[in-house]
Amino acid sequence: MEDEVDRLVEAWRAERPDLDVEPLHVLSRVSRLARHLDRARRAVFATHGMESWEFDVLTALRRAGPPYELSPGRLLRATLVTSGTMTNRIDRLESAGLVRRSPDPQDKRGVLVRLTDAGRTRVDAAFADLVDRERELLGSLSPDDRRTLASLLRSLLVPFDTDPAA
């Protein structure tokens, strides 16, 4: 079985035999899969009337567990955006009735962002559909292959997740 990456690698080998293009076998496939996954995710989110960034914020709150609230700073760390971007996102989600702000009882200057019932309903439905779609995307792999792939990808990602400069 041959795919587009195999053809790319062979073309580069012919054009640049002086370079070791072996990394393309893995990383070009990861890149191409990321694009397919992004399209699939956007399609799922669109059916629930949300953008990817909305899903990111709402799922961060949902994963926090009851009462489904976090400080804006914790949301920043969970979603890897700037404070200005997060403020804008919280404003938009609050206007849509998906989150609400309340004073932080532990910090008189701070606020907490809490998932509303409407936000929880929407993110739960979107997440259930997303998991179903992602399961379909992995359908050609056996359970053992999925576990092996997950382990290999974890090995690649751990240095990035533990490096504060990454």
Section 43-71 average pLDDT: 96
What's the pLDDT at 80?
85
Q: Please state, rounded to an integer, the average pLDDT across all residues of the chain.
A: 94
Band of residue 107 on the pLDDT scale cut at 50, 70, 90? confident
What's the pLDDT at 108?
84
pTM to 2 decimals? 0.84
Section 32-46 average pLDDT: 96
> b vs e for 114-133, b when ≥16 Cβ sit within 10 Å of the residue's Cβ?
bbbeebbebbeebbeebeee
Section 43-65 average pLDDT: 96
Band of residue 162 on the pLDDT scale cut at 50, 70, 90? confident
Cα dist from 123 to 14, 52, 97, 164, whole Å: 48, 11, 13, 29
Element (H, E) at 69: strand 69-70
What's the pLDDT at 163?
66
What's the pLDDT at 150?
96
Section 87-115 average pLDDT: 94
Band of residue 166 on the pLDDT scale cut at 50, 70, 90? low
